[in-house]
Amino acid sequence: MNAFRVTSTKRPSRTALAAIVAAMLVAGAAWHGTAATQPAAATVSTPITHSVAAGRDSYADIVDVVSPGVVTIHAQGRARMSPTQFQFPDDDLLQQFFGNRGGRRPEMPRQRQTALGSGVLVTTDGYILTNNHVVDSADTISVDLTDGRTLAAKVVGTDKPTDLAVIKVAGSGFHPVPLGNSDTVKVGDVVLAIGNPLNVGQTVTMGIISAKGRSTGVGDGSYEDFLQTDAPINHGNSGGALVNMRGELVGINSQILSNSDGNIGIGFAIPANMAKHVMDDLRAKGKVTRSQLGVVVQPVTADLAASLGLKDSSGVLVNSVNAGGAAERAGIKRGDVIKSFNGQTVHDTNSLRNRVADSGPGTSADLVIIRDGSERHVTAKLEEATPDKLARRDGGDRDDRGANDKTALGVTVAPLTPELADRLRAPKNADGLVVEEVDPDGRAADAGIQPGDVIQEANRQPVKTVEDLRAAAKRAGDKPLLLLISRRGNDVFVTVKPSNG
């Protein structure tokens, strides 16, 4: 959590206040004295003592019902600082890659960290929804209720892909917030955000739903379908409630978009329906079960639609198919355009990924695809998305960063697209895998690999897929793995030491 400093003007002394009051009294007396010399008015105006309308324009009744169900969460734990928090000079390529004089990066210090966040009581027996990043790596968790109680909490389960967590407190007399149907939320609906921003105490702000189906890619970024709101939220609001005008929970506040680290009117909340699915799985099984189609897809732009002979730019374009996956078994090929999934129009990669994930492993999905200008119907039997095949943000797969796998490098990678190559200043003919995330405890971090790097070769062999990289790491065995990395247009070889595990 980032620390914020609140600066206020200095409070005047009692002597100064007395002087100010005296001056005001003198000024008032002078004004009244002047007014007394004026001719009396023909009529005397009477102050209005009644309201214009019988009712009141207020959200107080909603707040009275909902606020007892929103809590403050304090999480403490020891966590190693990530190497990505330390920035090296951009003009020293060796320093960027290898740290001090090409040596191993110094061990990052472990510090006691305290996280502040919010949470929402969703059951009468003390289950609380919050963000994963609020309780991640916490040793102890305490929860402050609005009735003055502070209770110890335990983690029931976490789900990094959605940034959700379920914790539980023991006790009674809880006032849960009823769950609403986030699918029925519309852009323009009025909502209230409730939480504890910057530890100032429970705070209520008001705004509207300004967009739906947003994806930010911050954090894990695997499964996102954010509700966007302009209801002001800040650090400390994470995990708090976004409620509608019926006092129902429609979202769990999670992120803000800001160039000042403070609220600028763009906040994101995880839809309540997604949160309920995650919570139910975590309570019942201790993990979240999702399904996958086994494809990597990209949006259909107007130019792509024209080149493919499509009438419009709806749907998503398949740019790779996983060998042996559900899509390949169903006959889906690279270059196909997926137009609908189970009768619902596919508008973007984000919505397709979430629909596939929520369908459940083993279920059959009906897809409409366009191939060579002709519409086709295919049926795919979805498979479970296992930890080594997590769905990417665009619907494909990611590399396994599991610490127990000796071949794992500790990176999350994705195929390099022309758009990414241009943004990363990679050569136009560059090919390989883009590093999206780096595990600070992994082998790749020790070698100095950073997000945004492009892995072009492994042991002098080109790599284009996750399977290529994993196979190269496996073949290396107990020998260092030689990687050719492109960073901001510069190529350099990096050796990744074998795992000692």
Q: What does each of the 501 residues of the chain score in pLDDT, given as a tens digit?
A: 443 333 333 444 444 444 433 433 333 333 334 344 444 444 455 554 444 444 568 999 999 999 999 999 999 986 443 333 333 334 343 333 333 434 444 444 455 678 899 999 999 999 999 999 999 989 999 999 999 999 999 999 999 889 999 999 999 889 999 999 999 999 999 999 999 999 999 999 999 999 998 877 654 446 788 999 999 999 899 999 999 999 999 999 998 887 777 788 899 999 999 999 999 999 999 888 889 999 888 888 887 787 778 888 889 988 788 888 899 999 999 889 999 999 999 988 888 888 898 888 999 999 999 998 899 999 999 998 865 444 333 334 444 343 334 457 888 888 887 767 777 777 767 788 888 888 887 888 888 899 888 898 888 889 988 888 888 888 888 888 888 888 877 777 788 887 654
pLDDT given at position 113 = 74
Query: Does 258 qualify as catalytic in the annotation?
Result: no
Q: How far is CA 450 from CA 84, 442, 444, 465, in A?
A: 8, 12, 8, 18
pTM, full prediction: 0.61
CB contact at 8 A, 75 and 114: yes
Active-site pick, 74, 133, 235, 277 = 133
67: annotated active-site residue = no
Of the chain, the end-to-end C-alpha distance in Å amounts to 32
Q: Tell me how many helices (H) and strands (E) the chain has.
A: 11, 26
Catalytic residue among 144, 163, 220, 225: 163
Residue 56 has what pLDDT? 66
pLDDT at 203: 96
pLDDT at 392: 39
What pLDDT, on a 0 to 100 scale, did the predictor assign at position 196?
A: 95
Give dist(CA 266, CA 228) in Å, integer. 7
What class is the 182-285 domain?
Answer: mainly beta
Three-state secondary structure call for residue 32? helix
Specify the 3-state DSSP secondary structure of 186.
coil
Q: What is the pLDDT of residue 111?
A: 57
CATH of 291-389, one of 3.90.1150.10, 2.30.42.10, 3.90.550.10, 3.90.1300.10: 2.30.42.10
Domain 64-169 and domain 291-389 have a common topology? no
Q: Say how far apart CA 361 and CA 278 lie, in whole Å.
A: 15
Q: Count other C-beta atoms under 10 Å from residue 273's C-beta.
A: 19
Pick the CATH number of 411-496 from 1.10.10.10, 3.40.50.300, 2.30.42.10, 3.90.1310.10: 2.30.42.10
Beta carbons of 187 and 210 less than 8 angstroms apart: yes
Whether 438 and 445 have beta carbons less than 8 Å apart is answered as yes
Q: What is residue 158's DSSP assignment?
A: E
Buried b (16+ CB within 10 A) or exposed e, 234-246: bbbbbbbbbbbee
Please check whether residue 257 is in contact with residue 221, taking contact to mean a CB–CB distance below 8 angstroms.
no
Q: Could you tell me which of 128, 319, 148, 118 has the C-alpha nearest to residue 236?
A: 118
Each domain of the chain, given as residue ranges in start order, spans: 64-169, 182-285, 291-389, 411-496
Active-site annotation holder among 118, 238, 351, 486: 238
- Residue 168 is predicted with a pLDDT of 97
pLDDT score, position 161: 87
What per-residue confidence (pLDDT) applies to 14? 43
Strand locations in 160-294, DSSP E? 164-169, 190-195, 203-214, 226-229, 241-243, 249-256, 267-271, 291-292
Q: Note whether 457 and 97 are within 8 A (CB).
A: no
Is 377 part of the annotated catalytic residue set? no
| DSSP-based three-state secondary structure for 135 | helix
So what CATH class is 64-169? mainly beta
